[in-house]
């Protein structure tokens, strides 16, 4: 039996500040669900890369980068209103990105009891399929200074570098659940299965976050602080700084959950 989980990490940076918006969508299907591979990314010529390791399959689409040119007032209003308002964000431009992870779980029932008033079940995870994507949106004013464009491209580079290491986070999460049994109880069998599955989702979510959200936040904050110190340096290399800021963060936050 297969269960589908969609997990997204949405972040944005704005002129020296970084904020985090998290949204988690657990889509559980009690009928069979399969992971549909997309053959080629529509916005690039790069194909989806598939890697397989034991009971783990990872389909990773290349980053998709889109740039929108808006007037400065529109950008400031978007940062002050709506979904960004509570983040106290400001700045002349911002880059928004999503670490998107859709997970297809292959499970089997080990035990199920629906004879009493409360139901109980145990499921074993046989395999995990990951479908990964990284859409990135850069918002720039129509009179953007070249230095501002370079700065935002540095945020794009940070996301791309960390995304390049995300396979290990997926493998760590899969290794922590494949072959293991998870128990659940509830008023009926679907509720009991939901409880069991929620444990699997929590483990994979944690591993995915430690490989994407956490190092991105750390590297982006460091990057912004370095850029501020070199604001008057016209020869400052933003991409080199972004690469330097990523070093150490991916491995530092990678954890194998037992």
Local structure of residue 62 (DSSP, 8 states): P
Q: What is the pLDDT of residue 94?
A: 83
The domains of the chain are located at 2-253
Question: How many other CB atoms sit within 10 Å of the CB of residue 151?
Answer: 27
Closest alpha carbon to 223 in 63, 67, 9, 11: 11
Q: What is the pLDDT of residue 91?
A: 66
Q: CA of 142: how far to CAs of 50, 68, 69, 232, in Å?
A: 38, 9, 5, 22
Give the pLDDT confidence score for residue 192 in this predicted structure: 93
Place of tokens 């020296």: 16
Nearest to 118 by CA among 185, 184, 183: 185
Residue-level pLDDT, tens digit, the chain, 258 residues: 545 555 544 444 433 332 222 233 222 211 122 222 222 233 433 667 777 777 899 999 999 999 988 887 777 777 766 555 444 445 678 888 889 999 999 999 999 998 878 899 999 999 999 999 999 999 898 888 899 999 999 999 999 999 999 999 999 999 999 999 999 999 999 999 999 999 999 999 999 999 998 899 899 999 999 999 998 998 999 999 999 999 877 655 554 433
- Please say whether the beta carbons of 114 and 43 come within 8 A: no
pLDDT at 247: 87
**Which pLDDT does position 143 carry in this prediction?**
86
Q: Judge whether 66 and 138 are in contact, CB under 8 Å.
A: yes
Q: Return the pLDDT at 77.
A: 74
């Amino acid at each position: 039996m297969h269960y589908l989980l969609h997990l997204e990490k949405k972040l944005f940076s704005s002129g020296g500040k970084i904020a985090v918006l998290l949204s988690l969508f657990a889509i559980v299907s009690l009928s069979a669900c399969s992971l549909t591979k997309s053959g080629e990314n529509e916005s690039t010529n790069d194909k989806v890369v598939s890697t397989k390791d034991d009971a783990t399959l990872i389909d990773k689409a290349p980053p998709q980068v889109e740039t929108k040119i808006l007037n400065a007032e529109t950008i400031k209003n978007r940062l002050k209103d709506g979904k960004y308002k509570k983040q106290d964000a400001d700045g002349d431009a911002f880059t928004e990105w999503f670490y998107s992870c859709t997970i297809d779980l292959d499970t089997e029932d080990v035990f199920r009891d629906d004879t009493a008033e409360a139901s109980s079940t145990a499921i074993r995870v046989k395999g995990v399929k990951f479908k990964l994507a990284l859409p990135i949106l850069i918002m720039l004013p129509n009179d953007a200074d070249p230095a501002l464009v370079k700065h935002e491209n540095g945020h794009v580079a940070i996301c791309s570098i960390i995304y390049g290491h995300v396979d290990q986070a997926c493998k760590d999460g899969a290794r922590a659940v494949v072959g293991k049994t998870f128990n659940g109880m509830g008023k009926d069998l679907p509720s009991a299965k939901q409880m069991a599955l929620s444990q699997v989702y929590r483990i994979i979510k944690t591993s995915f976050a430690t490989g994407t959200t956490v190092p991105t936040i750390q590297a982006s904050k460091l990057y912004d602080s370095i850029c501020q110190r070199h604001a008057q340096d016209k020869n400052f290399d933003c991409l080199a700084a972004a690469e330097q800021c990523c070093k150490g963060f991916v491995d530092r936050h990678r954890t194998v959950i037992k």
